[in-house]
Amino acid sequence: MSDSWTMPSGFPDLPPGQVHVWRLRTDRDPRSGLALLSAEERRRADAFRTDLLRARYVAAHAALRLLLGRTLDVPADRLRFRQNAWGKPALAEGDLRFNLSHSGPWALVALARGIEVGVDVEAVSHAPPLEVAGIAYSAAERAALSGLSGPALAAAFYAVWTRKEALSKGIGRGFSFDFTGFTVSADPAERTSRPALPKDLAGAGWTLHDLPALEGAAAALAVPAAGFGIATWRFEPSLWGL
Ligand SMILES: CC(C)(COP(=O)(O)OP(=O)(O)OC[C@H]1O[C@@H](n2cnc3c(N)ncnc32)[C@H](O)[C@@H]1OP(=O)(O)O)[C@@H](O)C(=O)NCCC(=O)NCCS
């Protein structure tokens, strides 16, 4: 994987064996994106309490539709979705899989053919909410954090958080997965790592990848096996008709 987010010169093909992760800023005028959303998505957008949160939701979901539509060569507003038992969205038809994450001004969309993927971005705070580690981190993860302070503690805290959430989103269980029952690397410098998983998933080949730097945020990607090529792209709405 490259160390940076690449601006594509044309819309990149997504062959089997590749995972594409797109990054976009969501703090922009959402009006053009609204036309792509379904009635249900507009209802969700309208339910946000502030214009900023509404705009971010619209930008992220319009970009998601546009990326899926361009990849499949289908109009973005025609796509239909379904959800698994834990709310993970998927396309109603076909083998193109995706996962979306948004936090602060950033959104990430991961795409792959025929394999589930999970992605997570979290806006970072210099004073991380350490109480989260008490309820959601494994004993080994808490031990890894215990000797740290300052920026090293914040970096390890968010590395663990984004890796755990990317994994739980990859397997599709979200927060209903027991977060204390598996362990990820707490070393922020470890670009690719294998989690220690509970018995029912122990044989699976889930691999965790850090993503190139995002200003003010940490991010991770979960892929169900090693050996996938990972490309990281910048999404510029105006280039793709948004
Ligand atoms: C998925 C989840 C971990 C997201 O946490 P988050 O940090 O707030 O949000 P992120 O921005 O990283 O991800 C949100 C996106 O993940 C996707 N998502 C939702 N549920 C998901 C799941 N179970 N697995 C993977 N991805 C999921 C959606 O695209 C969602 O975007 P949207 O809310 O704009 O539609 C959390 O919302 C969750 O656990 N949801 C499931 C709740 C549940 O168990 N419901 C039971 C239904 S019976």
The residue segments making up the domain with residue 152 are 18-240
> Residue 177 domain-assigned?
yes
> Residue 5 domain-assigned?
no
Residue nearest (by alpha carbon) to ligand 1 atom 40: 174
What local confidence, expressed as pLDDT, does residue 94 receive? 96
> Residue 76 domain-assigned?
yes
Tokens of 42: 């507009």
Query: Cβ distance 162 to 209 under 8 Å?
Result: no
Q: Give the atom of ligand 1 at the shortest distance from the alpha carbon of 61.
A: 34
- DSSP class of residue 143 equals H
CB neighbours of residue 229 within 10 Å: 10
Query: Cβ distance 206 to 167 under 8 Å?
Result: yes
**Is 89's C-beta closer than 6 angstroms to any atom of ligand 1?**
yes
> Residue 68 domain-assigned?
yes
> Residue 157 domain-assigned?
yes
**Is 169's C-beta closer than 6 angstroms to any atom of ligand 1?**
yes
CATH, residue 62: 3.90.470.20
Chain segment 75-117, per-residue pLDDT in tens = 999 999 999 999 999 999 999 999 999 999 999 999 999 999 9
Q: Which three-class secondary structure state does DSSP give residue 162?
A: helix
Are β-strands 217-223 and 118-123 bridged in parallel, bridged antiparallel, or unpaired?
antiparallel
Stated pTM of the model: 0.95
Q: Domain tally for the chain?
A: 1
> Residue 1 domain-assigned?
no
Residues in the chain, pLDDT under 70: 30
What local confidence, expressed as pLDDT, does residue 30 receive? 66
> Residue 7 domain-assigned?
no
> Residue 2 domain-assigned?
no
Nearest Cα to Cα of residue 205 among 169, 179, 171, 158? 171
Q: Give the atom of ligand 1 at the shortest distance from the alpha carbon of 175.
A: 39
